[in-house]
Amino acid sequence: MEPSREQLIDALGQVIDPELKRPVTELDMVREVNVENGHVAVTIALTVVGCPLRDSFERQVREHILPLAGVESVSLAFDVMTPDERAALTTK
């Protein structure tokens, strides 16, 4: 049985932005989470294009999603925050 969206979001809550030291779920960095036939697809919004922390996010997402029952693979895509979204980070 595949994990629920809630289980996936809970797992992503353990993915910490190394720079901001907060979960990506609290920072509204999770753009999309889908699961189909055991494959989980996650899209994370980075603060800037070419963010040097991409590798950290990839490692953390796999580390927290792959152990969930029913997950066979994980793919991670990246988006970039708008200036307004970046500005909102300072108020979170």
Tokens of 47: 């603060």
From CA 5, how far away is CA 7, in angstroms rounded? 5
Q: What is the pLDDT of residues 8-35, one digit of tens each?
A: 999 999 999 998 899 999 999 999 999 9
For residue 92, pLDDT over 70 is answered with no
Domains of the chain: 5-81 (3.30.300.130)
Would the pLDDT of 91 be above 80? no
From the list 42, 80, 48, 78, the residue with the least C-alpha distance to 63 is 42
H or E stretch including 54?
A: helix 54-65
CA distance 79 to 33: 13
- What pLDDT shows up at residue 55? 92
| pLDDT tens-digit map of 32-88 | 999 999 999 999 999 888 878 889 999 999 999 999 999 999 999 999 999 999 898
Does pTM surpass 0.95?
A: no
Q: Which 8-state DSSP code applies to residue 2?
A: P
